[in-house]
Amino acid sequence: MKSIVIYFSFDESTRTLAEAMASSIGADLLRLVPTGEFARTYYHHAENPEQIESAPGYNPEREHVWGSESVAMNNKPELEPFNFDPDLYEMIIIGTPVWALTYAPPFNTFFEKTNIKGKRIALFCTHQGIIGAALENLKKALKGNEIVQEIDFESPASRMDEYVETSREWARELLDL
Ligand SMILES: Cc1cc2nc3c(=O)[nH]c(=O)nc-3n(C[C@H](O)[C@H](O)[C@H](O)COP(=O)(O)O)c2cc1C
């Protein structure tokens, strides 16, 4: 039986850790990719950070508010089509950035479209120091599964090398649980 790492990432920190975990244990990887309006902002931001930051009127606070509004509305952004059959996996690792004190909205869509039950699940999140209810809310959304482990990574951009190592080790230990 295989493992899979399922994640969403906006500024790529969660992606880096998800990829480190997957490569460490030979797991599949599934990235949730929003489409539509949500994605236009997402790609704009991710692909041209320097251009965006030097643009007149750029306001990082505003970007933050935008995402937080998206969470507050319980937004369910459309996702690019994905193939995911939970029955293929024994262990599922789920990773999200913390957004407005909870998990990022693409997981709202993902949980609506999938039915994960009776699985062993490990959770991780990345954040800037205020984790809020991100992991607790993931656990609620994943009721009916066994949450075997959880970990959070604070300020990942400034500690990435260390966290990549921690992630690889954490994933390996999961397989022994
Ligand atoms: C819209 C938005 C909301 C955020 N809300 C929080 C928050 O409530 N608490 C926190 O500690 N960090 C918050 N952050 C920071 C991210 O959780 C953090 O930078 C994370 O590591 C980003 O992961 P990524 O690089 O995979 O996108 C927020 C970031 C964004 C873009």
Query: In angstroms, rounded to a whole number, what is the distance separating the alpha carbons of residues 127 and 13?
Result: 9
pTM (2 d.p.): 0.90
What percent of the chain shows pLDDT beyond 90? 67
Looking at the CA of residue 154, tell me the nearest atom of ligand 1: 21
Domains and CATH numbers, the chain: 2-35+75-174 (3.40.50.360)
Provide the pairing of β-strand 89-99 with 102-103: antiparallel
Report the pLDDT value the prediction gives residue 18, as an integer from 0 to 100: 98
Looking at the CA of residue 98, tell me the nearest atom of ligand 1: 17
Q: What is the ipTM of this complex?
A: 0.99
- pLDDT digits 0-9 by tens, 4-13: 999 999 889 9
Q: Nearest Cα to 11, choosing from 93, 128, 121, 101?
A: 128
From the CA of 130, how far away is ligand 1's center (Å)? Answer: 9
CB-CB contact of 118 with 145 (8 Å): yes
Q: How many residues does the chain have?
A: 177
What is the token pair recorded at 36?
A: 């539509």
